[in-house]
């Protein structure tokens, strides 16, 4: 069965600390990979995505993620977090659009950054 697993449910960091959120997926075909972020009281927003090519992708607000095909992983990183990064982060995979394009989400990781 298709699934996405996020390693941490709640992460607490101090400002300027480095961040890495783990994501592993199980899917039997070609996948697109996404990280979404949900700031308190705001829309779910796209942080970054990987479809093909360079496995290191850069997103908004200094975030990046690395696709490691052999490990079925797509971990999210940021070298130095800020208080404004406090949010819930979701990893997701989808089948290509011509196969329905359905997104499968991980459980989410709540990030709290202490000022």
Rounded CA gap, 46 and 37, in Å?
A: 6
Q: Which residues of 24-49 are buried (b: 16+ CB within 10 A; e: fewer)?
A: bbebeeebbbbbbbeeeeeeeeebbb
> Smallest distance from the beta carbon of 105 to other proteins, in angstroms?
4
- In the set 15, 107, 112, 114, which binds other proteins (CB under 8 A)? 107
Stretch that binds other proteins, among 12-20, 32-40, 69-77, 78-86 (CB under 8 A): 32-40
- In the set 34, 35, 50, 74, which binds other proteins (CB under 8 A)? 34
Give CA separation, 74 vs 14, 42, 50, 67, in Å.
23, 24, 9, 5
> Smallest distance from the beta carbon of 18 to other proteins, in angstroms?
24
Q: Does 18 bind other proteins (CB under 8 A)?
A: no
Q: Does 74 bind other proteins (CB under 8 A)?
A: no
Stretch that binds other proteins, among 11-19, 22-30, 64-72, 105-113 (CB under 8 A): 105-113
Rounded CA gap, 42 and 64, in Å?
A: 21
109: nearest Cα among 78, 69, 70: 78
Residues near other proteins (CB under 8 A): 4, 9, 32, 34, 36, 42-46, 49, 51, 90, 92, 94, 96-98, 100-108
């Amino acid at each position: 069965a298709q699934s996405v697993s996020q390693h941490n449910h709640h992460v607490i960091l101090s400002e300027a600390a480095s961040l890495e959120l783990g994501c592993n997926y199980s899917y039997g075909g070609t996948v697109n990979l996404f990280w979404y972020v949900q700031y308190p009281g705001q829309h779910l927003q796209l942080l970054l995505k990987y479809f093909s090519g360079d496995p290191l992708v850069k997103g908004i607000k200094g975030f990046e993620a690395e696709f490691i095909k052999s490990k079925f992983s797509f971990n999210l990183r940021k070298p130095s977090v800020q208080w404004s990064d406090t949010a819930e982060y979701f990893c997701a995979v989808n089948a290509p659009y011509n196969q329905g394009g359905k997104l499968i989400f991980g459980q989410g990781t709540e990030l709290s950054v202490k000022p």
